[in-house]
A and B are shown apart, each in its own frame.
Chain A
Amino acid sequence: MAFARNKLLIAAVAVVALLLPLLLQRHYVDVMVFAGLYGIAGLGVALLLGQCGIVSLGQAFFYGIGAYSSAYLCVTLGLSPIFGIVVGAALSALIAFIIGWPILRLTGFFLALATLAIGMIGGILFYEWDWLTGGTLGIGGIPTLSLFGFELNTPQRYYYFVWAIFLVAIWLSHNLVTGRAGLAMRAMRDAPPAAEALAVDMHALKTKIFVLCAVLGSLAGSLFAHYATYVSVQSFTVERSIIFLLIPVIAGAASVWGTIIGALFVALAPELLSGLGDAHQVLFGLALVLVVTLLPEGIVGLPKLVMKRFGA
Chain B
Amino acid sequence: MSPAPVTAKSARLVLDVQGVAHRFGGLRVLEDVNIAAPESQIVGLIGPNGSGKTTLFNIITGFIRPRSGTVSVNGRDVAQDSIQQRSRDGLLRTFQTPKVFDHMTVLENVMMGMHAHTSSGVLATMFAMPSARRELASTRASALQTCERFGIAHLAATRAGELPAGLRRVVELARAHQAKPKLLLLDEPSSGLSGPEIDTLRGWIRVFASEGTTVLLVSHDMGLMDVCDVVNVLYFGRVIATGPMAAIRDDQKVRDAYLGAA
Contact = CB atoms under 8 A, between A and B. Distances in A.
Interface residue SS majority, chain A: helix
Given A186-B101, A191-B99, A198 B128 contact: no
Interface stretch (A95-103, A170-178, A225-233, A239-247): A170-178
Contacts of A187: 101, 104, 112, 115
A141 interface: no
Contacts of A182: 125
Interface stretch (B33-41, B132-140, B204-212): B132-140
B179 interface: yes
Interface string A182-208: 111011011101111111110000001
Contacts of B246: none
A183 B104 contact: yes
B221 interface: no
A181 interface: yes
Contact of B136 (A180, A191, A199, A209): A180
A193 B87 CA distance: 12
Contacts, number: 92
Contacts of B104: 183, 186-187, 190
A179 interface: yes
B196 interface: no
Given A187-B101, A196-B83, 15 more contacts: A178-B136, A179-B125, A179-B132, A180-B115, A180-B118, A181-B121, A182-B125, A187-B112, A190-B102, A193-B63, A194-B99, A194-B101, A197-B61, A198-B113, A199-B115
Q: Could you say which interface size class chain B belongs to?
A: 35 or more
B86 to A, nearest CB: 9
A186 B197 CA distance: 29
Contacts of B122: 176, 181, 208-209, 212
Contacts of A198: 87, 92, 112-113, 115-116, 175, 179
B125 to A, nearest CB: 4
Interface in A131-166: none
